[in-house]
Copies of this chain bind each other. A is one copy, B any other.
């Protein structure tokens, strides 16, 4: 049974909802809440130092920037750091993000013990996830299970994403080639860039460059 849980969630309505729910369930002794990744990190260190470490962290993925700039920008970054400090820590992500392309790396790299999509029944799924993780299992939201077995490995590398970003910023292929050459990114020739874009158009089923960038944005690639 988890004793001490850290909730990291920027939106107060959701954080409040989770905390209230956990309190009503009444199974977890200490529930601490934080609205900033950096603040969560400090609370985590403090707890370790006081010899009262957390045994579960539930975090959102993306956090709005505000006047307090945060050094840690996202939930997966935060968890990566926390796991380094305390490898036996259990971690859950609770996020509206439902694009599998964003979620898959988190699961495959065994960064997290569960991924719950914030949905109509997200809270219910979250309580189930907590139970599963307690018994050593991994929890994946039911919406995602259908994707888990398909491997259709989108062979999209950082290079491709980089290329698409430059394209979406209005650079011509020529300009991208020059930029790549200046920054020693290979391949850098216009010809190779064309070739890459062709492959991407095939993979993302795009008719032309505009369509390609639009699809990449919809998928959350860029």
Which A residues contact B (CB, under 8 angstroms)?
Answer: 10-18, 20-21, 35, 64, 66, 94, 96, 118-124, 126, 167-172, 206-211, 213-214, 217
Contact in complex: A12, B124 (CB < 8 Å): yes
Give the copy number: 2
B residues near A211, Cβ cutoff 8 Å:
168-170
Tell me the smallest distance from the CB of A145 to a CB of chain B, in Å: 15
Contact of A66 among B13, B120, B170 (CB under 8 A): B120
Contact in complex: A206, B170 (CB < 8 Å): yes
Q: A120-B35, A210-B168, A210-B209 are in contact. Are A16 and B12 (CB under 8 A)?
A: no
Contact of A208 among B120, B121, B170, B217 (CB under 8 A): B170
Residue of B nearest to A175 (CB): B207
B residues near A121, Cβ cutoff 8 Å:
12
Contact in complex: B120, A10 (CB < 8 Å): yes
Residue of B nearest to A64 (CB): B119
B residues near A16, Cβ cutoff 8 Å:
17, 20-21, 123
Residue of B nearest to A126 (CB): B13
Known interface pairs A13-B13, A214-B217; 10 further A-B residue pairs with C-beta atoms within 8 A, sorted by A's residue number: A10-B119, A12-B122, A13-B17, A13-B21, A13-B118, A14-B17, A64-B120, A168-B211, A171-B207, A210-B210
The complex places the Cα of A11 from the Cα of B18 at a distance, in Å, of 12
B residues near A214, Cβ cutoff 8 Å:
168-170, 213-214, 217
Contact of A14 among B13, B35, B64, B213 (CB under 8 A): B13
